[in-house]
Amino acid sequence: MKKIPSFTIDHIRLKRGIYVSRKDEVGGEVVTTFDIRMKEPNREPALGNGAIHTIEHLAATYLRNNPEWQDKIVYWGPMGCLTGNYLLMKGDLESKDIVELMKKTFQFVAEYDGIVPGTEPQDCGNYLMHDLPMAKWESAKYLHEVLENIQPENLTYPEK
């Protein structure tokens, strides 16, 4: 079988950052898939299940309620490898276009205090698997170490 595009990225050289994973035309409109890479693959521990699950709930809630961007948000969810998240947005966008949005999103998660939305048994398929303290810690780490000082190599996939 032919490799899908996300398996052709050089994960050995991939840094934390924001990358355009792909662009697809859906119903005459472009949908941009972003790779929101919080961890360096195979070089640092992956995100814990509870932390990434909580990040998912908080980031998705924030993005879908953001007055400027809510109409462009299609999906936010964790990668199976637990090194980051995928963000699908309407529009032909580039990584640099959403840096400020990601700063605000991860600042929201890092500073969140309260009950995590959607953590009741009727709202979530694994409502017990949440870790707000680690979600805040991981989000603050990504915000301060990557997003606040983002460089070109954190916005474009490495050449193979």
Q: What is the CATH number of the domain that holds 19?
A: 3.30.1360.80
Residue 2 is predicted with a pLDDT of 84
Please give the chain's pLDDT, 160 residues, in tens. 988 777 888 899 999 999 999 999 999 999 999 999 999 999 999 999 999 999 999 999 999 999 999 999 999 999 999 999 999 999 999 999 999 999 999 999 999 999 999 999 999 999 999 999 999 999 999 999 999 999 999 999 998 7
Any domain includes 155: no
- Is residue 51, in this structure, part of any structural domain at all? yes
The type of residue at 53 is: H
State how far the Cα of 42 lies from the Cα of 135, in Å rounded to an integer: 20
Question: Domain for residue 127, yes or no?
Answer: yes
Question: Would you say residue 159 lies in a domain?
Answer: no
For residue 158, tell me if it sits in a domain: no
Closest CA to 57 of 2, 4, 136, 1: 136
Instruction: State both tokens at 151.
Output: 């460089």
- The single-letter code of the amino acid at 8 is T
Domain count across the chain: 1
Q: E-strand spans in the chain?
A: 17-26, 29-37, 73-78, 84-90
Q: Give domain status of residue 64, yes or no.
A: yes
Is residue 27 assigned to a domain?
A: yes
Ramachandran assignment for 47, one of left (phi > 0), alpha (psi -120 to 50 degrees), beta (any other) = beta
* Residues spanned by the domain of 99: 5-150
**93, 24 in Cβ contact below 8 A?**
no
Residue 50 lies in a domain: yes
Type of residue numbered 75:
Y
pLDDT for res 4:
79
pLDDT of amino acid 69 = 97
Contact yes or no for 70/61 (Cβ under 8 A):
no
